Structure 1
Amino acid sequence: MELTNEQWEKIQDLIPDPVKRADGRGRPAKDKRQVLEGVLWILRTGAPWKDLPARFPPYQTCHRRFQQWQEQGVMRRVVEALARDLMERGGVDLSECFIDGSFCMAKKGGLLLGKTKRGKGTKLMAVTDAAGLVLSVSIASASPHEVGLVEQTLQERFIAPMPQRLIGDRAYDSDPLDEKLREKGVELIAPHRKNRVKKKTQDGRKLRRYKKRWKVERFFAWLFNFRRTLVRHEHKAENYLAFVLLACMKIMLRYF
């Protein structure tokens, strides 16, 4: 079982029912929970669709429904609803948030791919709150520097409020980024690059918060336990992001 009964009750109203034919013909539609659990099996194992075990609906059905949900934005709506619920319960701490990026090897062509020293791939960005709860994910070509992806990642956040502080590694030490975030009410905290020539903008007291950056790294460890997110097999970038959002959903459900 990919979902407990309690977890299913939390999200079942957010998963659309299959569309019925107007003439009433055709086979009865497969139960949406069974279909979702088939998709989650693919997410967890990283296996090809055709290897879906017989205990789930046919892989063609699960793949078709996954495509429909992706096109309808179902995955993002589910994650946003869970994030809002946690925020209303007081389970989100925006006092200090953490940002990081990870490289994902790509096996097929498609958009949002870039060449790096490690090969062709996609950059996966994430922001977590003070406790490590994921607040935003976004994908981009692996070629651009992470400092140029910060604003896009914040725009993709699951809840409306902005972080009070955003903490990253040396890759995010940028005076222009610092200024842009300050205008949005966000304080950027990052260690200085060794080749920094301008005046220092951080002090030791602020950088103590940097020691807790392992929380965003832990999120990536949790995320990549879902093997379909570890390597991008999808030609469509939207499909890969949908799998990432499903993994975020599974991680968020642990907090309920």
Structure 2
Amino acid sequence: MAGRGDLSDGQWRRLEPLLPVSNNRCGRWRDRRQVVNGILHRVRTGVPWRDLPERFGPWKTAYERHRLWSADGTWERVFQQVQTAADADSAIDWDISVDSTVMRAHQHAAGARRTPPPAPPCSKGADAAEHPEREARVEAARPPGGAGAPGEGLGRSRGGFTTKLHLTADGHCHPLSLTVAPGQRTDCTEFELVMDKIRVPRAGLGRPRRTPDSVSADKAYSNRAICAYLRRRGIRHVIPEKKDHKAVRLRQGSRGGKPPGFDKERYKKRNTVERAINKLKVHRAVSTRFDKRGHVFLGTVTVAALVIWLRS
């Protein structure tokens, strides 16, 4: 008997062919549906892995499989393949929107081991004084206040110990791409990264689709670098102009250039990304981060996004 939140027979038929059937370290896996349902239960409820109900089998099996599939990109590949099937059915609205949201990080998310970048080639026995560039890189990679290991997407913001999720969503409130960054990171710095992660493979021949029809975003993404990036890729965009930018342009007179075009009706569709965020945050392991490693938390969010696609 299926439990609340488990995959239905139809959803499992769509998902099963996309999952790997074996692994070099573990051999052939059995009861994949039981374990996947256990992973979904943890993502939905935020329960500690050790408290996973017995009907899902050993908790460590579900944890290790989720950790492995997050590390080797399996969840991301499955996510893209589900998008491929949707695109083949013309179920993706390519008028996309971009935004970010902040999640509080639980105290259990802290404490990941630091992995400083590798040292440059140097003679044996050289000290730090001889290679200040190495020490500068290590210090730059270290998050403020001992928030966690470099690259784990943890930081300090007004909300405290936080992580930030950047995402794009199509016109039907379906997430298209996801990235994780520290909570204090500004939205505009992650824009190009989250846009470059849009990659929907074709069902037949041809390159994956990476270019949307249009992009809408709020004032946090209003700067010259982002506008130049979108023009370079030939993407129409609707981003409101900041008041200080407008004041500078008016002061410059004719040298300030023309005001950017703004389609109010198109901008109204930006709420789709806000609704996509709401759907993701229904999952408690997304709304509060419990995972220490950034790639594991990104895998958790990808599983939540995958559920949205399967149930749409």
User: What is the TM-score normalised by the length of structure 1?
Assistant: 0.91
How many residue pairs get matched? Answer: 249
- Find out whether 1:226 has 2:283 as its counterpart: yes
Aligned pairs for 1:1-256 within 5 A: 1=2, 2-19=6-23, 30-94=30-94, 96-107=95-106, 108-109=109-110, 110=148, 111-159=152-200, 160-196=209-245, 197-198=248-249, 199=256, 201-204=259-262, 206-255=263-312
Stretches (4+) displaced over 6 A: none
Q: Which amino acid aligns with 1:212?
A: K
| Equivalent-residue separation in structure 1 for 2:53 and 2:22 (angstroms) | 21
Counterpart for residue 137 of structure 2: none
| Equivalent-residue separation in structure 2 for 1:153 and 1:226 (angstroms) | 21
- Single out whichever of 54-63 and 191-200 deviates more from structure 2: 191-200
Q: 1:143 to 1:52 in 2, by over 3 A?
A: same
| Equivalent-residue separation in structure 1 for 2:217 and 2:92 (angstroms) | 19
Q: Which amino acid aligns with 1:208?
A: E
Query: Identical aligned pairs, as a percentage?
Result: 29
| Equivalent-residue separation in structure 1 for 2:101 and 2:22 (angstroms) | 35
| Equivalent-residue separation in structure 2 for 1:248 and 1:202 (angstroms) | 33
Gaps of 5+ in 1: none
Q: Which amino acid aligns with 1:187?
A: R
| Equivalent-residue separation in structure 1 for 2:265 and 2:227 (angstroms) | 18
CA contact (8 A) 2:216 2:237 kept: yes
**RMSD of aligned residue pairs (Cα, Å):** 2.0
Q: Which amino acid aligns with 1:162?
A: T
CA contact (8 A) 1:178 1:187 kept: no
**RCO comparison, higher one (Cα < 8 Å, 6+):** 2
- SS class of match (2:274): helix
- SS class of match (1:65): helix
Alpha-carbon deviation of 1:131?
2.3
- Single out whichever of 155-164 and 3-12 deviates more from structure 2: 155-164
| Equivalent-residue separation in structure 2 for 1:138 and 1:77 (angstroms) | 15
CA deviation string 1:102-125 (max 9, x = no partner): 011122223221211111211101
CA contact (8 A) 1:14 1:74 kept: no
Alpha-carbon deviation of 1:63?
0.8
| Equivalent-residue separation in structure 2 for 1:224 and 1:121 (angstroms) | 15
- Single out whichever of 74-83 and 64-73 deviates more from structure 2: 64-73
Alpha-carbon deviation of 1:235?
0.8
Q: Which amino acid aligns with 2:69?
A: W
| Equivalent-residue separation in structure 1 for 2:291 and 2:297 (angstroms) | 6
